[in-house]
Structure 1
Amino acid sequence: MDQNCFPTRRQSDPDAWIDLVFSAKAANGGVVRRAIGWVGNEVGHDRFVDEVRRRGYHLLVTQNQYIVVCNTGPVRMLF
């Protein structure tokens, strides 16, 4: 695998990355999914979790993905 696929350090502004993720059409009441490793490289896990919490959204973790439910209403896991 190409070592440059997942850089070890972010080269640009983490705030700009957060703005890009949460300005996507899917973030308007929908769902945003990002690889956990990629989030760690881009902004760090704590920064991402803090941002999801600040917005009042819901964060799920499955295997190697973060799943953000981009609404502030209740969420119920059915199975």
Structure 2
Amino acid sequence: MTNLPLPIRPDDWLRHVFLSRAAAQGGVVRRKTRDIERIVGRDRFLAELDRRGFRAVENAGQTIIFCNRDPVLIVR
């Protein structure tokens, strides 16, 4: 597989995610886990979550970002 250029710069991607309407309103944002890893990298993404005090969960190739500091409860 050829290494294709990234479609967006990592800084721009992070800005786009965290300035979205859902994020700005303290809601949730969903992104493909492989896109996070490919575009910004797991370590940088986790550092950004820590900086903002946000949490995230992964399931079936998707990452759900809770754009607030409220506790996350897995119901079942």
Matched, 1:63 2:76: no
Q: Which 5+ residue runs of structure 2 have no aligned equivalent? A: none
In the alignment, the residues of structure 2 paired with residue 50 and residue 25 of structure 1 have an alpha-carbon distance, to the nearest angstrom, of 21
The two structures, once aligned, show a CA RMSD in angstroms of: 1.9
**Which residue of the partner structure matches residue 20 of structure 1?**
16
| Cα 1:37–1:8 shift into 2, 3 Å | farther
Residues 1:49 and 2:50 are matched in the alignment: no
State, as a whole percentage, how many aligned pairs show the same letter.
38
Paired residues, number: 74
CA distance in 2 between counterparts of 1:33 and 1:47 reads 17
TM-score, normalization by structure 1 = 0.81
Q: TM-score, normalised by structure 2?
A: 0.83
1:38 aligns with 2:25: no
CA offsets per residue over residues 40-73 of structure 1, 9 Å max, x none? 1211111111111210011101110111011012
- Return the letter of the residue paired with 2:19: S
| Structure 1: 5+ residue stretches without partners | none
**Residue by residue, what CA displacement relative to the aligned partner does 1:12-60 show, whole Å, maximum 9, x if unpaired?**
4311210111000011210011101111121111111111121001110
Letter in 1 for 2:10: P
